[in-house]
Structure 1
Amino acid sequence: MISLRQDIFMEDALKIADWLEDQEIIAHLNEDNQMSRQIRSLVETSRMPLYNQVFNQKGLFYLICLQDESIGYVTFIPKPNGHEIVITIGEKELWGKGYGKSALKKALCEAFFSLRTKTVNAKIKHLNKRSLSLFEHFGFQGDMVKQDLYLLSMDFDTFLKKAA
């Protein structure tokens, strides 16, 4: 059973750093390639019990958990026209097993019902066919804005129609 968790412990932070060093994973992301080094440095220099404040600096950050074990993350970055979502399943052996779908469904509920955002946007690299298909399945629409990047969005009304 997939859940979203906001508490980020040291083990979770180190796991995220591992994911952000994996070339196969970061090939699908728009993340800063220095992020893993920054996370490791933070863990080495400060032994905080929770790292929530660090991971929530640019927006709300949630771990995607499978039976309380972190397997990925979701971030909501505030933008003038809503929130941008970043979703990652970091455990590659779990790719293609429906966990991203479950996590996206929970994340959209969080965005529209808790954050009360009007629109959720996603930037997806064109080579990431699996993510593109997943977001389109949920009702996201959009176009390629650059040669290698799609900008997709979904509003609250579309979400309600697809959820019904």
Structure 2
Amino acid sequence: MLKGNLVELRPVSKDDLKHLFKWSNDEEIANLAHGSDSAYQNNNPQEDIEAFYEKNLTAQPLWENGRVFIVYTMSTGVPIGKCSYSNLNPVTRTAEIGLSLGEREYWGRGYGSDIIQTLLKHLFYTLNLERVQLDTWSGNTHALRLYEKTGFQTEGRLRKNEYVDGAYYDTILMGMLRSEFKL
């Protein structure tokens, strides 16, 4: 478990699958978290979530390539979202991250920043990475503000690469180097 100031990041367990099912079938949350890929994220039966868990979280050595965490509040122990790192490259010492707060009442209260800080501390100082990157879509203004606030810099833009709710948006590529990370 990784502990921050407000959150604790725990590896996904079978008990967490009901939360993943709920969040992945919330269209607004899926759109914000996945952009044009949200069509593949929502409207999935619980059996599909369980099969994905069995295939990808227990049968493969994710600790070598990445990890998915459920985010719990430190104060109440309530699950409020998920985060992950993936595409871990031991040669270049890089990885990609993502996060989603599935419980709306925790939006805008500092939990997103604490998730990122906790995850980056682990990636930069425990796993000794040099660079972490992420992407989001230009219509997800809350995420863009969060990433900029936590120190990520915009490194690129893929024009009209996302299609959400009938409109095109850019994919925004962002990154952070270990030397830029502030605890």
Range of TM-score over shorter length: 0.7 to 0.9
Shift of 1:69: 2.3
- 2:153 maps to 141
Letter in 2 for 1:41: D
- 2:104 maps to 92
- 1:16 maps to 20
- 1:73 maps to 82
Shift of 1:35: 4.6
Letter in 1 for 2:83: V
Shift of 1:79: 5.0
Distance 1:4 1:55 in 2: 20
Aligned residue for 1:18, secondary structure, equals: helix
Contact 1:20 1:33 in 2 (8 A): no
Distance 2:31 2:133 in 1: 20
How many residue pairs match? The answer is: 156
Distance 1:88 1:123 in 2: 13
Normalization by structure 1: what TM-score? Answer: 0.81
Aligned residue for 2:33, secondary structure, equals: coil
* Aligned pair partner of 2:121 in 98, 109, 115: 109
- 2:70 maps to 63
4+ runs deviating over 4 angstroms: 54-58
* Aligned pair partner of 1:25 in 6, 29, 41: 29
Contact 2:20 2:49 in 1 (8 A): no
For structure 1, the 5+ residue unaligned runs are none
Aligned CA RMSD, in angstroms, stands at: 2.7
Normalization by structure 2: what TM-score? Answer: 0.73
- 1:5 maps to 10
Letter in 1 for 2:177: D
For structure 2, the 5+ residue unaligned runs are 1-5, 161-169
1:156 has 2:178 as partner:
yes
Distance 2:14 2:88 in 1: 29
